[in-house]
Structure 1
Amino acid sequence: MATETTTLPRRLLARRLVELREAAKLKSDDAAKLAEIGRQTLWRLENGRTSEVKKPIIRALCRVYEVGEDDVLGLLWLADESRKDGWWQSYSDAIFNVDLFLSLEQAASRISSFQLTLLPGLAQTADYRRAMARNYRPALRAEEIERHIELLAKRQARLTDSTNPLTLEVWLSEAALRHRVGGASVMAAQARHLYELSALPNVSIRVVPLTVEGYLGLETGSFVLLEFPRHLNPSLTQPPVVYIESYAGALYLDKPTELELYQAALSAIEEVALDEPQSRALLQKIEQEYQA
């Protein structure tokens, strides 16, 4: 039986190389010629189709694209990571200065997020996010918190962007709505925001009530399943990714057996969750309770 390996680091490397080439306003043939590499070599790199990522080629492309040293180090780091069987990104020693999850989020066409204790970023209000940010350690300065809010707004713009459509499915434990992040007024506004968000045709919000005695989501913990657009060439369609965040870092899973487990978990969570009208009614009830 063949060993399953992750393709995610080289897919992220591929996406970043395309972004840098396009920022340099170069066609792929011209970039390959300037870097003195073959067109097929660049094609394979930009499509994540090679497991042999050679650092001299990455450096040559970086010279052509005139990128900064941070980007060079980040791309070389991903080249190293692409040789590993599994992938854990620790915040303490990851040197890539581009948020890897946000890169995946922007490329995804469907996101299914199951959350036990906190609301997913795409569904948060600015005040909820501020309240969360005030608890960060080390503490953030006021201007850093506001940058978080600006980034959040850019991420959420995808929900109403017809040029880059995104389907969002949110599965929430009722516990996430009961934690008073920022206090009663913040949570009342947050519940109202979720209610309004659920009215969008591309957004679904389902709540697992606290009255459910036990279900698989309590074992899986919070996770996000990201799915990507279908390519005209099926072999170039990127497989889904499961993202699991912890206090120390983030785990990215894209092996077929791992994906099957989490897709099955979503199905199990769906079985115990309220349907959309029931979830909307619960959101209204919770909003009223916070306003009382």
Structure 2
Amino acid sequence: MLTVFLQTLPFFAVIVLGYGAGKTGFFPPEATAWLTRFVFYFALSAMLFGFSASMSLGDIFEPRAAAAYLLGCAVVYLVALAVAFARRRPLPEAVMEAHTAIIGNTGFLGVPMLVLLLGPQAAGTVLLVLAIDLIVFSSLLTIIITLAREGRISPDLPRVIAIGLAKNPMVVAMAAGLLWSATGLPLPGFVAATTTLLGAAATPGALFAIGASLSGNRAERLTVAGWLSAAKLVLHPLAVGAAAFWIFDVDPFAAGVLICAAALPVAGNVYILAQHYGVCVARVSAAILLSTAASVLTLPVIIARFAG
């Protein structure tokens, strides 16, 4: 446990450095935005392309693991919806809170941390979680909020969702890597070297960007944010673990990766969605801040259970 905590400490130390740089104004919001864009479109996408290009679709999509993760998410999603409805929140707010309770920072934190600490063999399962979060649940959020606000599903909605996915560089990078992998050819030397070089910037860049972006968040609405943070850090991994081990009999290593991914703090892109729809912005912002801070203690415990 202490060993894993010490291994995770540098990750959180870089987040704290980014937070300090943002809080003091040394790293202004404009710099954070551009660093995030670099990581999102280039460094992290290069890392994901490199991983995907060395795998087949079967390495990533394991039906039992996918079913276990989906079921675990569905349980927590419904619980969060029920809690929101019990507080008499409207449907768009309830859905945004449910989304917050299940979407972890898999791209910016999970991919670099879990692959490093659990081993390269964890990459396929981590990418599976990332794909489900991006494709299934982001689409679900869009559909439900659109339905709640307009009272109907627009015939144009599938096209809007498809365009949104096509514009997400992480989705494109994974798809392109899998397409290349299907050819059975190795990556050309210069391409492999370029993706390796860019990918090496993903981990420190993403962690620093997380910290810098958190410096602008405020811990408002702590009661709801505390509940959403607990749901994400505790209920989510418990539900995914129960589904993986007791219902779908997922391979123990893959089940452990699923649980570790589920234990990640709330993702920053949830805040972007909250801003886009104008729903629960303060609650989501506070949940990201609280869950990230608390995960310094909770995440090492869970990783230690399944590492090595």
Q: What range describes the TM-score normalised by the shorter chain of this pair?
A: under 0.3
User: Based on CA coordinates, which of the two structures has the bigger radius of gyration?
Assistant: 1
Task: State TM-score, norm by structure 1.
Answer: 0.28
Task: State TM-score, norm by structure 2.
Answer: 0.27
* Higher relative contact order, chain-length normalized (CA < 8 Å, sep 6+): 2
Structure with the higher fraction of residues in strand conformation: 1
Structure with the higher fraction of residues in helix conformation: 2
